[in-house]
């Protein structure tokens, strides 16, 4: 039997230059009347940080209780492709289980690659880009595990991935 509890997901859908979409999804804690103001602030911070790294157009935002169309426009840059993704690896702070999520249409010029580390991206320290560090801060503030206990998380790795269609 699964443990008691619930999971909640929030997402930002990006459109790319070829009129395809892809979601950036994050598991969040329970949203209640008491916590909604804090959630909206944290989700806004995540949106801002993700947008600073994405070339795509935000088409939609979703979270429990809200499904908003933000734009019907498509990006003009041919570099805005949903297949260009930043994979974020994060760890459950209690169980140390590793999970992954991807941010589509990532702007490669905003990534600093680990020297000799292939597609691995620096996400902390002076050499990491400000945009990536801001995303880590915003993601860790709102993110939880996809398990019903919704433990807090820590980003433990990032890498560029090109997804096949």
pLDDT in tens, 20-34: 999 999 999 888 888
Q: Is residue 28 included in any domain, yes or no?
A: yes
Residue 148 lies in a domain: yes
Q: Within 52-84, where are the H helices?
A: none
Range of the domain at 70: 8-162
The yes-or-no verdict on residue 47 having pLDDT over 60 is yes
Please check the confidence at residue 2 and state whether its pLDDT lies above 60. no
Give the confidence band of 1 by pLDDT, cuts at 50, 70, 90: very low
Q: What is the DSSP letter of 132?
A: H
Helix (H) or strand (E) holding 27: strand 21-28
In a domain, 1, yes or no: no
Contact 81, 119 (CB under 8 A): no
Whether residue 105 lies inside any domain: the answer is yes
Dihedral over Cα of 157, 129, 152, 105: its sign: negative
Average pLDDT over residues 85-109: 96
Instruction: Work out how many domains the chain is built from and give that number.
Output: 1
- Percent of the chain beyond pLDDT 90? 80
pLDDT at 36 over 50: yes
Asked if residue 77 belongs to a domain, the reply is: yes
């Amino acid at each position: 039997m699964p443990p008691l509890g619930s999971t909640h997901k929030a997402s930002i859908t990006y459109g790319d230059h070829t009129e395809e979409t892809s979601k950036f999804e994050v598991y969040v804690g329970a949203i209640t009347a008491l916590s909604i103001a804090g959630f909206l602030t944290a989700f806004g911070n995540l949106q801002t940080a993700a947008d600073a790294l994405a070339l795509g157009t935000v088409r939609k935002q979703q979270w429990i209780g809200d499904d908003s169309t933000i734009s019907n426009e498509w990006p003009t840059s041919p570099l805005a492709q949903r297949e260009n993704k930043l994979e974020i690896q994060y760890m459950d702070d209690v169980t140390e289980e590793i999970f992954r999520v991807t941010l589509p249409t990532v702007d490669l010029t905003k990534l600093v690659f680990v020297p000799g580390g292939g597609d691995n991206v620096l996400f902390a320290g002076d050499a990491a880009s400000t945009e990536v560090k801001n995303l880590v801060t915003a993601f860790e503030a709102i993110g939880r595990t996809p398990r019903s206990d919704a433990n807090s998380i820590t980003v433990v790795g990032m890498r560029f991935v090109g997804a096949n269609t």
